[in-house]
Amino acid sequence: MARGSTRPTSRDVAQAAGVSQAAVSLVLGDKWRGRVSETTAQRVREAAHALGYRPNLAARNLRLGRTRTVLLVVPALTTEFFAGVYTGATRVAAEHGFGVVLYPSPEGIGPARDPFASAQAALDGVIASSMAADALTAIRGDQLPLVMLDSDPDGSLGAATVNLDIADGVRQVADHLLAQGHRRFLHLAADVASWTFEVRARELAARLAGTELGTVRAPISIEGARTAAEAALGRPGPRPTAVVCDDDQLAAGAYKAARRLGLRVPEDISVTGVDDLALATAIDPELTTVRLDAELFGERGMRALLAVLKGEAPEAGDIPVHLVVRGSTAPPPA
């Protein structure tokens, strides 16, 4: 091809490799096995690399009826956790020539309007957090492949589910506090109707059976948590010695409530969270919390959707989580 001419074409690659355009299409579409030899495939790849050839994905996708676009539906972006999920998903998507459109559900819950003229025509699939599940009705219809994140695998709307091992995270928190000697607990629970929070409540109750465990619900916000925790901790009678929070923002609210009541963390009351957001090390003392790998979560969600699109079984097993012990927990006061 002459220097300075237009971008190389598959015909140029075929001529350079001494093969047909059909062979080039098979090799660069990764459909050559059993149809052309390994030697021929390598020659085509080398010719494409030398010429700087890139397939015209738009034209190919138009022929295939595919957009190579995925929608990631998450709750309203109030923390960096879902930004991490998006980062992980886009990393894997890019490796396979896909793009990811991020769509925060209004208020994190409730129905959403279709962000496209027709999502079924504009998308190849959807990845959605269970916290935003109500947003799917208008977006997905009944036609698009769906992978659910943080969703009950026995009752999921999706063709596959990807979960963090949140139950084990709760067990790690409970075991840590029990080992320190705590026997009076307050569960500061997220006031969100979602499977992941139901799991946390159920596992905590099971692990702390035989102790004093109270529960108060709060919206996932620092001020909402402060109000709820201050009311609960200020009640007459024996005060809880540990506050187990569903989220790091709730934990920050518990800190504020404790200080308003003249309580020290952790000398008078221990506090734990879930997520390990940047917030966890910004507050003082730094927060004992369950670290969730948001980027790995997004990666696994995208890999699961790619598997569904290929008719393959996604990777099984929940993503491990682990407790990060910092300065917000200590043995209860004598």
Domains of the chain, each with CATH number or no CATH: 10-55 (1.10.260), 67-163+295-318 (3.40.50.2300), 166-291 (3.40.50.2300)
- Cα torsion at 305, 310, 313, 315 (round to 10°)? -50
pLDDT of residue 55: 64
pLDDT tens column, 15-59: 999 998 888 888 877 777 888 888 998 998 899 888 887 665 444
Spatial contact of 28 and 55, defined as CB atoms under 8 Å apart: yes
pLDDT tens column, 63-99: 344 678 898 988 866 678 999 999 999 999 998 889 9
Q: What is the pTM of this model?
A: 0.77
Residue 134, Cβ density class (10 Å: 0-12 exposed, 13-18 middle, ≥19 buried): middle
> Which one has a higher pLDDT value, 101 or 63?
101
Name the most confidently modeled range: 68-72, 96-100, 262-266, 305-309.
262-266
pLDDT of residue 60: 47
**Percent above pLDDT 70 for the chain:** 84
User: Own/partner pairs for 260-267, CB < 8 Å, 24+ apart?
Assistant: 260/226, 260/230, 261/230, 261/233, 261/234, 263/233, 265/328, 266/327, 266/328, 266/329, 266/330, 267/330, 267/333
